[in-house]
Amino acid sequence: MTPSAPHEALHHWVISLVCPDQPGIVHAVSGAIVSARGNITESQQFSSADTGRFFIRLQVESPAGRDEIQSALDPVIARYGMHAIVDVVGRPLRTLVLASTAGHCVNDLLFRQRAGQLPVQIPLVLSNHGTLRDLVGFYSVPFESLPITDAASKSAFEARVVEAVEKHDIELVVLARYMQILSPELCARLEGMAINIHHSFLPGFKGANPYKQAHARGVKLIGATAHFVTSDLDEGPIIEQNVVRVDHSRTASELVAIGQDEESRTLSQAVKWFAENRVLQDGARTIIFK
Amino acid sequence: MTPSAPHEALHHWVISLVCPDQPGIVHAVSGAIVSARGNITESQQFSSADTGRFFIRLQVESPAGRDEIQSALDPVIARYGMHAIVDVVGRPLRTLVLASTAGHCVNDLLFRQRAGQLPVQIPLVLSNHGTLRDLVGFYSVPFESLPITDAASKSAFEARVVEAVEKHDIELVVLARYMQILSPELCARLEGMAINIHHSFLPGFKGANPYKQAHARGVKLIGATAHFVTSDLDEGPIIEQNVVRVDHSRTASELVAIGQDEESRTLSQAVKWFAENRVLQDGARTIIFK
Amino acid sequence: MTPSAPHEALHHWVISLVCPDQPGIVHAVSGAIVSARGNITESQQFSSADTGRFFIRLQVESPAGRDEIQSALDPVIARYGMHAIVDVVGRPLRTLVLASTAGHCVNDLLFRQRAGQLPVQIPLVLSNHGTLRDLVGFYSVPFESLPITDAASKSAFEARVVEAVEKHDIELVVLARYMQILSPELCARLEGMAINIHHSFLPGFKGANPYKQAHARGVKLIGATAHFVTSDLDEGPIIEQNVVRVDHSRTASELVAIGQDEESRTLSQAVKWFAENRVLQDGARTIIFK
Amino acid sequence: MTPSAPHEALHHWVISLVCPDQPGIVHAVSGAIVSARGNITESQQFSSADTGRFFIRLQVESPAGRDEIQSALDPVIARYGMHAIVDVVGRPLRTLVLASTAGHCVNDLLFRQRAGQLPVQIPLVLSNHGTLRDLVGFYSVPFESLPITDAASKSAFEARVVEAVEKHDIELVVLARYMQILSPELCARLEGMAINIHHSFLPGFKGANPYKQAHARGVKLIGATAHFVTSDLDEGPIIEQNVVRVDHSRTASELVAIGQDEESRTLSQAVKWFAENRVLQDGARTIIFK
């Protein structure tokens, strides 16, 4: 409950703070919130034994505007050496989608976005194929395709990515089965703001055609992993994972179809949490405040 | 990190607080923790839109003993009208187990307790049958059976329950497939401290022999629900639920066997959370700080 | 493997047979398959202890055409009093979709149909609202809306359903969140060929606004049940069920959103199995040969 | 239904047959069953596109004894070059359990065996440590420990395994967290009759201390895989897999505890299916007729 005047509109703020752990942080932060006339409606924190860092995510309702909130927090941020994000709850994240020919992840993202279940705003879907033009157009989202056939066209594609990121002030890049390895330069440029989806198996199969390998070994579970893009291919910090049960009667191509469903829902879930500022990185791990 | 002297032993405290929601609670509580030389290592909170109550559970490490912690918190507790619990992390909860003839839940509880996975201390298993005497004895837990054959013997059994609760200063009563309806008086006596397990189906089947009904309708999922005991039979606040998939080839008796596995793990999970002070009641709902 | 001439094309047949159980059925059926030059590539059978009926579903590859297959089977069908279906594997089922305003199930069905994951052919989506016109149009599927405001308009809507069923020789009617109770007459007309989806909770909540009830009780699992439509509302034979875990922090409206995902995938799964002739009814139960 | 004389006792047979696939097998097998006065109560088959082999498992009720069943099948077995197993439904499998210090899998196996949920008969638990003596003794199962400290004592242990296998006519060896690598000779001796359990992660982590690696990468799912023992360590055909969800707050040691639950239930499930003749090998894959 907030001690605001009866007719003063309430704002909803999401605040995430990361700093070296030490006593008194919560007290200092909550003091700043009180001074900015805020009420904490949601709060999660975590102290990492691995890195000695402290993570907190708050949702706060307050009649205060951004300046008042920020002013109240600034001394605390300075004192504890915090990395801070202050944002409006529910603000759509400016998101660039990279795709190739497979439509399942793109369709799932666009459908949920339109249904109001995914707080993203997508100014562009960029693909190295034209296959998904109609699908994307149905959702009234701009679509652009640039073929990748060699090193030069790949560089051009990546240059276009960077250009779009800058032009639209992109906050998140989603690789929705983009199927191309990003250059180390682009990985570095997008560090911490690009999410990829890939299939997962127990046990893990590396190399070409993992579904065929999984089939050959007779796996009983297949799944998907959404993770941050890093230069170490498919080894970035894990955001979300799901699996589904399969049996011996499934062909390798059926495994692919089943895997696609898991990819769609796992990627959309990861994007949703990221857009809600629920995903924080702690070295090679993620803290998910869900 | 705690600013204690190098060789001063750290205690680990769990603190749960419930009160009407209002601004400033977190600030006040965290101030008390700081003043008691504590560092918050785990924290979860929830504001109930249903009841307007605020819930917080903290784990704190501090060189302070109970008196120092309690003294620091007392003014805050008084100011906000809090219901407060301050306990030692990992302290085994004094737990009375009620059973009948089925051994699956009892075995699961006792095995986990002995394996160090369940912070309970069980001074007595009380049953209306002698069936489980050997099983319970193997775990070196006292066992007592008192037949229930009519209203008088039922009253005697319940009187023995109350006696045991008082003698052993019991904090939790687990109905591990006890299969008897508690009298309203005993429900009232054990309010908020007794956990029951029962089968669950989608859709729910009321009345006698639910497994037979579920079989007749061809359910595809069966499960278990652990809940607080209330005088409204099987309608108490839900603590945990699980399901498992079944198909048309299962007989009604196979459904029973499958359901027992779900009952065991669901009940043990609920007991564990309760023993760790992770289960708070909010009207007819539970807040689970897991 | 099939003893066909090298260049003779193979057909793929799905055969489902239901009859009173007695010895020798499999031998008789497999003899007919051999005589029609067929090889059994998939086979599932079930003897119902509840009804004394025998169920078998076969996939057969053979150079034989429909007449040859049917002629080989006819004496067996006659001898055992079988209910028989002989169909081409993968033939799209003529499917009528009934909808209202909610788009999640309709979108899921149409996307999967277009992606080749759902063997249905949809000549019409019929709704009592115009809301989904654009969505359906994107998939190039005819859409028609007829308002339901009173008994007369409801009768008109149902008359249009029957007309469409007859005109398009419909084999399956999917109630994709149609939200209207069918008249007993329409239930009877569509018996065994109409599939509905509804939310499910543990424990089950009857009556109005079940999500609100589920929220009030603090359920930990919510899900969906796909079932055949019968005049006994929401009590028809169950085809498929799924659940997903939720916690105390979810609002009633979030439960609705989560439930919609389960509804979409559960309904699509049920439709897929039905279209593949994998769903057989045994009294109030379904046999699912997946 | 079986055409037996009213008072003639029925036997329940399980028959599994494997041979190169060709047309007419089902007809030939079902003819043999008819001639042995049998009724097929359960039947599953699979044609492997990978190896060209055909698998069938039948449950048959018949007044015929073993000789009559076997005589009826023998010509079919000879004609198709079948590998055949004919057994009594529910006969307890003679099972040797190898263990080390961890009790969770051993306890789960023994409890289920005693509860009548696992059709095995265990003449001996053999361990390289004495830790589990009391636990095993409680279930009245003989226990023997032989330390393994060097190559010579390891050879002695394995010689004791072979001796026990021969003396008790063992049909299944369960490695219930035995934690020792079997020699190639013992692997060869136990081929197709030894089941191991190991932890599983998405993605898979090879090498020492996988839970620590999984923790470092922040996995969201951990699980267990039950598989046949082969000389290629942890790469044998998979029988069953399960996973459970975890989050960032779990320590590496908590991951171990959670993983143990999955190991217990996954191993018991695999043993149950194997004991019921539901697990057939197809090259590096398993066919599970569940």
List pLDDT tens digits, range C52-95: 999 999 999 999 999 999 999 999 999 999 999 999 999 999 99
Which of D42, D115, D138 is nearest residue B104 as measured by Cβ atoms?
D115
Q: Do D23 and C44 touch (CB under 8 A)?
A: no
- Measured between CA atoms, the residue of chain C closest to residue A135 is C138
Contacts of B22 in chain A (CB under 8 A): 1, 39
Inform me whether the pLDDT recorded for C107 exceeds 60: yes
Residue C169 among the catalytic residues: no
Q: Please, which pLDDT band fits residue D182 given cuts at 50, 70 and 90? A: very high
The H-assigned helical ranges of chain A are: 25-35, 66-80, 104-114, 133-138, 151-167, 184-189, 210-217, 252-275
User: Does residue B71 belong to the interface with chain A, where contact is any CB pair within 8 Å?
Assistant: no
User: Does residue C244 belong to the interface with chain B, where contact is any CB pair within 8 Å?
Assistant: no
Q: Which of D11, D12, D24, D169 has the alpha carbon at shortest distance from D82? A: D24
Which of C42, C115, C138 is nearest residue A104 as measured by Cβ atoms?
C115
| Best B261, B264, B265 residue to mutate vs chain D (most D CBs within 10 Å) | B261
User: Does residue C1 belong to the interface with chain D, where contact is any CB pair within 8 Å?
Assistant: yes
Q: Please, which pLDDT band fits residue B7 given cuts at 50, 70 and 90? A: low
Q: Do C26 and D40 touch (CB under 8 A)?
A: yes
Inform me whether the pLDDT recorded for B124 exceeds 60: yes
Q: Please, which pLDDT band fits residue A288 given cuts at 50, 70 and 90? A: very high
Give the pLDDT confidence score for residue C4 in this predicted structure: 45
Question: What is the C-alpha to C-alpha distance for residues A208 and C192, in angstroms, rounded to an integer?
Answer: 45
Inform me whether the pLDDT recorded for B212 exceeds 60: yes
Question: What is the C-alpha to C-alpha distance for residues A45 and A30, in angstroms, rounded to an integer?
Answer: 13
- Measured between CA atoms, the residue of chain B closest to residue A28 is B27
What digits encode the pLDDT tens for the residues C224-242? Answer: 999 999 987 667 899 999 9
Inform me whether the pLDDT recorded for C158 exceeds 60: yes
How many cross-chain Cβ pairs, B to D, lie less than 8 Å apart?
Answer: 14
Inform me whether the pLDDT recorded for A2 exceeds 60: no
CA torsion C210-C215-C216-C217 (nearest 10°) is: 90
| Best D42, D138, D177 residue to mutate vs chain B (most B CBs within 10 Å) | D138
**Per-residue DSSP letters for A132-190?**
THHHHHHTT--EEE----SHHHHHHHHHHHHHHHHHTT-SEEEESS--SPPPHHHHHHT
Q: Which conformational region is residue A169 in: left (phi greater than 0), alpha (psi within -120 to 50 degrees), or beta?
A: left
Answer yes or no: are the C-beta atoms of A85 and A55 closer than 8 Å.
no
What digits encode the pLDDT tens for the residues B242-279? Answer: 988 899 988 888 888 888 889 999 999 999 999 999 99
Q: Which of B281, B189, B176, B174 has the alpha carbon at shortest distance from B236? A: B281
CATH class, range D11-88: alpha beta
Inform me whether the pLDDT recorded for D1 exceeds 60: no
What digits encode the pLDDT tens for the residues A254-281? Answer: 888 888 889 999 999 999 999 999 999 9
Contacts of A26 in chain B (CB under 8 A): 26, 30, 33, 40, 43
How many cross-chain Cβ pairs, A to C, lie less than 8 Å apart?
Answer: 14
Q: Please, which pLDDT band fits residue A8 given cuts at 50, 70 and 90? A: confident
Give CATH for domain D93-288. 3.40.50.170
User: Does residue B218 belong to the interface with chain A, where contact is any CB pair within 8 Å?
Assistant: no
Give the pLDDT confidence score for residue D172 in this predicted structure: 98
What digits encode the pLDDT tens for the residues B81-92? Answer: 999 999 999 999
- Measured between CA atoms, the residue of chain A closest to residue B28 is A27
**How high does pLDDT run on average in chain A?**
91
Amino acid at B266: T
Answer yes or no: are the C-beta atoms of A244 and A256 closer than 8 Å.
no
Long-range contacts of residues B146-152, Cβ cutoff 8 Å, at least 24 apart: B148/B180
Contacts of B288 in chain C (CB under 8 A): 220, 247-248
User: Does residue C247 belong to the interface with chain B, where contact is any CB pair within 8 Å?
Assistant: yes
What digits encode the pLDDT tens for the residues D256-289? Answer: 888 888 999 999 999 999 999 999 999 889 999 9
Which of B225, B243, B282 is nearest residue C203 as measured by Cβ atoms?
B225
Inform me whether the pLDDT recorded for D6 exceeds 60: no
What digits encode the pLDDT tens for the residues A189-214? Answer: 999 999 999 887 655 666 667 778 88
Task: Catalogue the active-site residues of D.
Answer: 234
Give the pLDDT confidence score for residue B1 in this predicted structure: 43
What is the SS3 assignment for D247? coil
Give the pLDDT confidence score for residue B11 in this predicted structure: 95
Neighbours of B149 (CB within 10 A): 8
What digits encode the pLDDT tens for the residues B216-243? Answer: 878 899 889 999 999 876 678 999 999 8
What digits encode the pLDDT tens for the residues B10-35? Answer: 999 999 999 999 989 999 999 999 99
Between A182 and D255, the higher pLDDT residue: A182
Contacts of A228 in chain D (CB under 8 A): none
Q: Please, which pLDDT band fits residue A252 given cuts at 50, 70 and 90? A: confident
Q: Do D287 and A241 touch (CB under 8 A)?
A: no
**C-alpha angle D52/D53/D55, rounded to 5°?**
145
Strands lying side by side in the sheet with A194-201: A143-145, A120-127, A93-99, A172-175, A194-201, A221-228, A238-245
Instruction: Output the six-digit token pair for C251.
Output: 């609002």
**How high does pLDDT run on average in chain D?**
91
DSSP code of C290?
-
Map out the domains of chain B as residue ranges.
11-88, 93-288
Q: How far is CA C197 from the centre of its chain?
A: 11
Query: Cis omega before residue D63 (within 30°)?
Result: no
Longest CA–CA separation in chain C, Å: 67
